[in-house]
Structures are given as C-alpha cells and as structure tokens.
Structure 1
Amino acid sequence: MLLLDDLHALYASPAASRLYDEVITELQHAVQCAELATASGESDALVAAALLHDVGHLLLEDHVALDETLVNDHEHEKAGARYLAAWFGPEVTGPVALHVAAKRYLCAVESSYFATLSPSSVRTLAVQGGAMTADEVDAFERHPGSRGAVLVRRWDDTAKVAGRVVPGFDHYADVLRSVAIR
C-alpha cells in the first residue's frame, strides 16, 4: 500500500532520527503519542492522528537545533494535514492541523497549562502566536476538530520521555489501514 510505504519511508528517514526536543527523536515522539492515545482507549482515527501529528516536520525538514534561535514558524501542522489528506479524512487530518492551535488554546484557557510545557514547546509557542485571544478561543471551540486536537496536544505534551518502551511505527500499520480513505 503506497500510504504505508510513504509513511514508513518518512519515519525511517534521517529527519525522524533527529532530536524532537531535549531528550527524544521525532520517531520516538510519534510512537509515544500513539501509545498514549491507544492506552486512552481512543478511536483508531485519533491514534493515527497522534502518531502522525508532526509528520510536517519530516516533510519540511524544519529542524532548528535547540541552541539556535528559532525565528520562523513553518506551520508544520498545516503541511502535515495537507499531505495526509491524500489518504485520510478530517477525523485524522483535523487534529493534525489543529494541534498547534490547541497548545495556544490551552495556554489561554488553563492558567496552569503553560507551566507544563517542555522548553522546546515554550520556544515554539513564541513563534506560533502565543496564547489565543478571546476571539480565537471562541473560534477554536466551535471547530469540529477541536476536541481531537486538544487530546492530541495533551499526548504530545507527555510523549517526551527518554527510554520509554513502546511499540514501533510498524505496529500501527493496521490502524493506519483501518482509517485510510484511499
């Protein structure tokens, strides 16, 4: 299946072996997110979204080392959602497209949320627009994909544990096939 071949190649690429944040790689982050979604008993679509939420980083190869100044937001969430739309419907692409907005949303509506962010997430928040305004919060809450995006965001925040043992990328092949539309 072309979908799995393409995704497998991306997650086996050198870009997936780069550090995602201070302690884990892009690949480790992806499979930790998927495992957290699975353990939460969520749908296959949300497990797929959790696994693939940062695919845009691999497509754009937008890695900026932690000791370098981050100047631009390359909107990896939008690039990833566009790419995934060739194979998946909005139940997967929506949370992918909105997971950055969900971080901004949570910063606006939960006073303690910002303190839970990793240094890398704090760093990116600054170029992604910071906490949402009241109008942005209202618009986000009305979006049909907002619930899934908030869930993916919460898994994203906790899927950063060095040495955590979880199934590999190929473990999710059947999940990906089950929600693929093409």
Structure 2
Amino acid sequence: MALTVAQIVQLYRTEGAARYGMEAVSQEQHALQCAQLAEQAGAGVALVAAALLHDLGHLLALPESATGKDDLHEYRALPFLRGEYPEAVLQPVRLHVAAKRYLCATQADYWDSLSQASKHSLELQGGPFSVDEVEQFLLEPHALDAVSLRMWDDLAKDPLRVTPGWEHYRRVLERVCLHQPEKLAA
C-alpha cells in the first residue's frame, strides 16, 4: 500500500523525531536538511523529493532490524512509494547507498569526509565498490542524481541548521506525486 503525502509527513513528525543513528540530528531534521540542500543546489522537484524521502526506509524498519547488519533501508521504502512517485524520485532513493560506495571507490578523500556513523554503515553495506561495480553503477539511469543526493546526505547533519518546515515540503511532495487530485482534475 502506497503512503499518502499526509502519511509520509506524519511518519516523519512521529517516528522521525528519533535521533538519526549516531548523528546529532533527528531523522526528521536530516530529511528536511537534505531536501533544503538539494533546493539550494538548484535540483529539480523530483530530486528534492528524493532527498527528502531517501531515508524513509529507516522509519519503516522493524525494531529487530537494528542487529548490526545492513538494514537495506534504501529498498524498504520503495513499495510504499512506487506508483505514487516517478522513477526520478524512486531511483535516487534506491541508489543513494550505492552512491556512497561509488564515491569511496572513486574519490580518495571521500572516506575521510564521512562521519563515524557513515563509515560504520559503509562497512555493513559492503564497503567501496570494485572497478566492475563502479562501471555497473554508472550504467544506472539515475546514478548521477544519486551521487548528488549522497553528497547532500553527508552534509545534512547540522543540529543548528534552520530549514523550511513541512508545509513547504508537503507542497514539494504534492507537486511530484503522480496521483494528486488537483493533477487528475487538470
């Protein structure tokens, strides 16, 4: 069952109030900051929505999924978004973990820029890509969007950053959503 925009916002306001792993921000703050960074970079509305939704899978995780293994959060949200959002939203969400692995394999200083929490999760996610994996990743239609998303993801951990609120980002989600009533009536 796909989540509505209202359900997504409610999920972030409730479950998203929890701390974002070992970072100094909540899941909600992280999502809002990532979307703001995408907007500030001039990203299109679909990529801003992907930035907002990229870690939604963490909020849908079962409590027992925190077992020291990769939780595959980048896939968990897709069934709840598919059919409501275009591939330009879904694929950067799906690929944002792969983008971290790609960046570690292709940029010598990227590993050093990661927080301890991101370094730990990278190890659980398979570490840097091999040369073959880098080539395969680059064949993905939304790979470069996922790399941009990943860079914003890494920066969206500032406990003092002020962002627009959910009224603003609700409209972003509504603009890109495939089945909004106002789009169907137009």
Q: Pairwise CA RMSD of aligned residues?
A: 1.4
Task: Return the letter of the residue paired with 1:36.
Answer: L
Matched residue, 1:73 = 70
d(CA) in 2 for partners of 1:140, 1:107:
13
Contact persistence 1:11–1:169 (CA under 8 A): no
Q: Once the two structures are superposed, what CA deviation does each residue of 1:51-99 show, in whole Å capped at 9, x if it has no partner?
A: 01000000115685xxxxx621110001122321131011000000000
Q: What percent of counterpart residues are identical?
A: 43
What TM-score results when the alignment is normalised by the length of structure 2?
Answer: 0.90
Contact persistence 1:10–1:58 (CA under 8 A): yes
**2:153 aligned counterpart, secondary structure:** helix
Task: Return the letter of the residue paired with 1:34.
Answer: A
What TM-score results when the alignment is normalised by the length of structure 1?
Answer: 0.91
Q: Once the two structures are superposed, what CA deviation does each residue of 1:8-31 show, in whole Å capped at 9, x if it has no partner?
A: 121111x21111132100000000
Instruction: Choose from 115, 118, 123 the match for 1:118.
Output: 115
Contact persistence 2:103–2:110 (CA under 8 A): yes
Matched residue, 1:67 = none
Contact persistence 1:16–1:27 (CA under 8 A): yes
- The reply to whether residue 141 of structure 1 matches residue 142 of structure 2 is no
Count of paired positions: 175
Matched residue, 2:17 = 17
d(CA) in 2 for partners of 1:55, 1:113:
24
Contact persistence 1:81–1:94 (CA under 8 A): no
Within a 5 Å distance, the mapping from 1:31-42 to structure 2 comes to: 31-42=32-43
Instruction: Choose from 80, 85, 98 the match for 1:88.
Output: 85
**1:132 aligned counterpart, secondary structure:** coil
Gaps of 5+ in 1: 65-69
Matched residue, 2:184 = none
Matched residue, 1:107 = 104
d(CA) in 2 for partners of 1:179, 1:16:
22
Q: Structure 1 residues 74, 8: CA separation in 2 closer, same or farther (over 3 Å shift)?
A: same
Task: Return the letter of the residue paired with 1:167.
Answer: P
Contact persistence 2:50–2:92 (CA under 8 A): yes
Contact persistence 2:9–2:170 (CA under 8 A): no
Q: Once the two structures are superposed, what CA deviation does each residue of 1:73-129 show, in whole Å capped at 9, x if it has no partner?
A: 110001122321131011000000000000000000001000000111011001000
Task: Return the letter of the residue paired with 2:143.
Answer: S
Matched residue, 2:7 = 6
